[in-house]
Amino acid sequence: MAVDLDHIEDLVSVERGEIDRRIFSDEEIFEREMEQIFGRAWLFLCHESQLKKAGDFFEAPMGRDNVLVVRQKDGGLKAFLNTCMHRGNAVCRAEEGNTKVFMCTYHGWTYGLDGSLIGVPGLEQFYKNSIDRSEYGLKHVPQLDTYKGFVFATMDPTAPPLPEFLGATGRLGIELIAARGNMEVVPGIQKFVINCNWKFTVDNLFDWYHPSITHMSAFDSGILPGANPEMQDPTETIRPNGAATPDGTELSIPGGGAVDSVTVLGEYGHAIGGPKVTDRPGPFDNTWRERPEAREALGPVGMIVGGHPNIFPTAWIAVSVQLSLRVPLSPSQTEIWWFTFVDKSSPPEAQQMQVFMSNHVFGPAGILEQEDGENWTQSTKQTRGYASSKIPQILKMDLGEGKIIKEDGIARIEGATSEHGQLWTYGAWAAYMRGDSWDEIKAATTPGEFF
């Protein structure tokens, strides 16, 4: 059944906590996402530490466009589409590296580090000097900016400036990495493909209901510290309420569930969801927050936020000191890109420990993430059945009951594990998809009293 694109708001009901399954597989919806979300929102491209020397470049996705981010001779950054102005061939075929120029291998058109067209074979003999090179530089992204070393761009010249787009919530999300010290990206971006819709990969990061079940084997095997009884808060034990294994045994749910949680809801669709910071030892160290500079950068709300921020639409700041970019390829295919950070001012052993944790928790061979892909793949598949597609997906946990506390310019809900973060994201999704103006998107994503 075709989706009615004139009434996109009908596909997401924030009031009922219901989502139309077709948004996870419909081709027209995907095309509109490319235009209204990935063609407008500020998107994370890379981190400045990946581009140290003049000529260093990194290819980043913006929707289905490929953008080259390039360190300039004057130390600045530029970003332009990786497509020749002549016949469209990619002017660079490496994922990253260092270069003097970008030469198209089709006809030899050559561009400088700033994207300007500096060489055209046969300009006099064949073109009779009839084309003006200054008109055919590589197409720059309309807006490029950085925040604390995190490089973002938008394809929309009318988008609000980056600091405004990020707002207090997005900036706090970035501080949860940046405020740890002198942060640099570790060489090697893990990139892998999952046959699922990109939205599952995004909303899952707010989902602290799933780890105890999906990632049960990580806790059961003792490979993650959460399974150590001394590290479990007895109040975190999740009661099975009838849940059982296929042989009928009552499900024994290990620790790792976050009952005491805090969810931040931000303008333009950003959110942070997950457990409140506690003194209990866990896999991730929180002592870095106590440094005076970190304390100031985080503010009072940042000091208690222990979960995962998402910079809308697809940049997840993970507690493992990583940024996971979710890259939509098609309605049913998504790439995951993991950027891993270390504090270069910390002792080498601490940096090695950080890399060791990052290599083993997330990523396709990660102790946790091995299990995620199949959930999302199957959930995506079950949106295509004639009958299945008519069943709404539900996000009703603590629906409408979350009292919003406003402090330090940030809106948050405290309480047990909820689905507020996911639902907030889908509410914002609908506002972008309706084609709302930037002012309307901001108004639609300004938290009220309850959610």
Interface ranges with other proteins (CB under 8 A): 93-99, 186-196, 214, 216-218, 220-223, 245, 335, 338, 340, 352, 355-356, 358-360, 363-365, 367, 369-375, 377
Closer residue to other proteins, CB minimum distance, 238 or 430: 238
Closer residue to other proteins, CB minimum distance, 50 or 169: 50
Report d(CA 108, CA 131) in Å as an integer: 15
Closer residue to other proteins, CB minimum distance, 39 or 363: 363
Q: Torsion-angle region of residue 256: left (phi > 0), alpha (psi -120 to 50) or beta? A: left
What backbone phi and psi angles, to 5 degrees, belong to 310?
-120, 125
Strands (E), 112-155: 117-119, 143-147, 150-154
Per the structure block, which two tokens stand in for 333?
A: 């295919």
- Smallest gap, in angstroms, from Cβ of residue 241 to other proteins? 18
**Smallest Cα–Cα separation from 162: which of 178, 179, 146?**
146
Local structure of residue 40 (DSSP, 8 states): T
- Smallest gap, in angstroms, from Cβ of residue 285 to other proteins? 19
Closer residue to other proteins, CB minimum distance, 35 or 65: 65
Closer residue to other proteins, CB minimum distance, 83 or 190: 190
- Smallest gap, in angstroms, from Cβ of residue 340 to other proteins? 6
Burial classification of residue 192, based on how many CB atoms lie within 10 Å of its CB (0-12 exposed, 13-18 middle, 19 or more buried): middle
- Smallest gap, in angstroms, from Cβ of residue 359 to other proteins? 5
Measured from the Cβ of residue 243, the count of other Cβ atoms closer than 10 Å reads: 12
- Smallest gap, in angstroms, from Cβ of residue 60 to other proteins? 14
- Smallest gap, in angstroms, from Cβ of residue 354 to other proteins? 11
Q: What angle do CA 43, 48, 49 make, to 5 degrees?
A: 135
H or E stretch at 440: helix 438-444
Helices (H), 303-371: 348-361
Residue pair 404/413 in contact by the 8 Å Cβ criterion: yes
Closer residue to other proteins, CB minimum distance, 223 or 304: 223
Closer residue to other proteins, CB minimum distance, 89 or 98: 98
Closer residue to other proteins, CB minimum distance, 141 or 367: 367
Closer residue to other proteins, CB minimum distance, 168 or 368: 368
- Smallest gap, in angstroms, from Cβ of residue 133 to other proteins? 25
C-alpha atoms less than 13 angstroms from C-alpha of 228 in its C-beta half-sphere = 9
Strands (E), 377-448: 393-394, 405-407, 410-415
- Smallest gap, in angstroms, from Cβ of residue 246 to other proteins? 10
Closer residue to other proteins, CB minimum distance, 278 or 370: 370
**Smallest Cα–Cα separation from 257: which of 279, 275, 269?**
275
Report d(CA 164, CA 171) in Å as an integer: 9
What backbone phi and psi angles, to 5 degrees, belong to 305?
-80, 115
- Smallest gap, in angstroms, from Cβ of residue 348 to other proteins? 9
Packing angle, helices 292-302 and 162-178, rounded to 10: 120
- Smallest gap, in angstroms, from Cβ of residue 41 to other proteins? 23
Closer residue to other proteins, CB minimum distance, 136 or 192: 192
- Smallest gap, in angstroms, from Cβ of residue 333 to other proteins? 10
What backbone phi and psi angles, to 5 degrees, belong to 293?
-65, -40
What backbone phi and psi angles, to 5 degrees, belong to 297?
-65, -35
Local structure of residue 187 (DSSP, 8 states): S
How far separated are the first and last CA of the chain, in Å rounded?
Answer: 31
